[in-house]
Amino acid sequence: MDLLREMSQHSSNPLELPSSDVRNKVALQTYRKARAMSGNQRDSDEPEDELEVSDLKNYQRHIAGLLQDRPPAQAQYTTRRNTGSELLIDLDEDMDDDKEQDCDGENSDEYDGDSGVDADAAADIDEEMTLYLKSREEQEEIRLEIADLEEAVPAITHDYKLIDRLGMGTFSSVYKAIDLGYHEKWDNTVWHGLHPAGSSAHYQSVPPPPCTKVFVAIKRIYVTSNPERIRNEISILETCRGARHVSQLITAFRHEDQVVAVMPYHPHEDFRSFYRTLPMSGIRAYFRCMFRALRDIHARGIIHRDIKPANFLFDPHKGVGMLVDLGLACRMGVEPPVHYGKCLHTAPTRENPHGRLRRAAEYNSEFVRKKQKDARMRSGWASDRVGYLEKDTRPHSRANRAGTRGFRAPEVLLKCNEQTGAIDMWSAGMILLFFLVGKFPLFQSNDDVEALLEIACIIGRRRMEKVATLHSRTFTTNIPSITPEGKPWRELVETLNPKLRERTKDDTCPNPYNTSEASSGGGSYPPPPSSSSPDPDADSGETHWPSVLGDVQDHETDIEQALDLLERLLHPESIKRITPRQALYHPFLHDSGEEKGDDAFFPHPFGEGVCGEWHFIDPVTEEFRVRIRTEEGSTSVIPVMAGEGMAMGDEPCEFHQGEDMFGSLDE
């Protein structure tokens, strides 16, 4: 009992914390169960023969985490001899690999129970112990999965310690692990990137402090996945290196038929836990991060295709989000040419990222008008005459329709063959709709036809007919609830959320961005602005989102701006839908007081920017190469890795910093 008496002075003693704490509740239940099963006043450290030792060990591992900084000699104890057996219980069991080096080369001889544990160490302990927050059955299932992965890929145990499962899907499972060689073994500068201090993504470039545990996410891609799909995902992850608020590829390797990708671990909260309570400033932070991510990947010719809350990991306490899971992502302009049913809009270009309407001379306008007229006429027929052919002999339309139900844009449902990044913006608009309505999810169709009807019920039959025509399709329906004109999205929001304009949200969400506008009563609370980034050393518990309880007129302005952005994001015609860059400069997200806009921190794709002409891809090896000036004044060509050699805004890349006259490189 001496150990328990010492623990009682510890600030994190589970026996003194409220039982509402999930982990402590489980620990207390296990502890009380052990006491009840003992049947006498024997020390709780001394289990009976019939006690299930695994239960007690889970509790003891939790205590070990709380006392991890305690000197090893005091963190262990041996139980008394029980009848017929002797059991040695080590509070540091399974923790040997996690012991940190003393950075200063000194060890404290005394244990200060009142001072608590260091903030970084406490965070490491919490992240390492998340497995024990889950049910016993799930814990056992996860342990078996981890053991299976370690057996299938033996080399993984040399560099990583798997500790929990983060999620699982159709094509892969993701596990949390500790990178055992981060500080001494690996060069991490490439995937960290070089985002400047003024960028909201600067935290991606800040390495963890020395002697701290670095957590990573290990993605195990199932062997049933198509090899081309695996190659495509890893290739796209490499292309997206250096993009802001996009999960970076650290490395990937294969062992026989097993493929594993390693990415940074991003702490976050479940979308359902904050989407109803996040203030306007937090919603701004959410979409600033999301649209910066989409701007960067779209500029690299990548469409994510599966934008949804589960794939955008947001930490409301820090105001930063990370776009993950590019398993369904694709490159623009790689679809095979279509000769039948070709869309009436062009493919994306630099000037028109979402394409443009083709000129009348580029298609048969008379034929299109005839089809429109026939479709509208059929919409007035009786129900037994309206529908689709049971045995349709026409050629099938083929197009990529990957995505998640309820988030697919109209052009995906209509099987458009020239899809652009506009489909990601539609999905982002759906998420903004959840925030404004306070309901999630909203659309739950069983197939593409039902999904089109759900959208048509809102935007109306005429607009849906126009959208169908844009993609060389026709839309015919006689459902009475689908009116010709429909209604604006703002009307839907105000109908589903009558309290939208009431200021009922309180200031309970910590935020490291306390802007001057919060104290001056300004109507726009932009967290994080383009010129700010999270301070890794800041105590997030002492800062909060700017108060949303200010002037009513300011809140009304916020709502109007958010509704206007919603209308632009959910424009049914893809060519008229707002782009990520335009969204970042929309009044709802743009801070007029900023000296530098988002363009100043935009990481250009390789070969673009002020020094882009001195970057090229080797036509034979397909390696990235950069032409630089040597110390002797001559020029030289060096190979670079994906993520290197990116110009930021109007600034040159890291290889051309300080060059006064780039033209001299051609001499």
| Active-site annotation, residues | 306
Q: Residue 617: helix, strand or coil by DSSP?
A: strand
Report the DSSP beta bridge partners of residue 315.
320
Q: Identity (one letter) of the amino acid at 518?
A: A
Angle 258-260-261 from CA coordinates, rounded to 5°: 160
Walk across the sheet containing 615-617 and list its strands.
Answer: 615-617, 624-629, 635-640
The shares of helix, strand and coil residues in the chain, as percent rounded to the nearest 5, are: 35, 10, 55
Residue by residue, DSSP assigns 303-346 as: E----SGGGEEEETTTTEEEE---TT-EETT-SPP--SS--SBP
User: Is-cis flag, bond preceding 441, omega within 30?
Assistant: yes
Report the DSSP beta bridge partners of residue 263.
217
Q: For residues 162 and 143, what is the distance between their CA atoms, to the nearest angstrom? A: 9
Residue by residue, DSSP assigns 8-49 as: TTSTT-TTTS-TTSHHHHHHHHHHHHHHHHH-SS--TTS--T
User: Is-cis flag, bond preceding 528, omega within 30?
Assistant: yes
Q: Which token pair is 597?
A: 């806009």
Q: For residues 285 and 287, what is the distance between their CA atoms, to the nearest angstrom? A: 6
Q: Which token pair is 198?
A: 């003024």
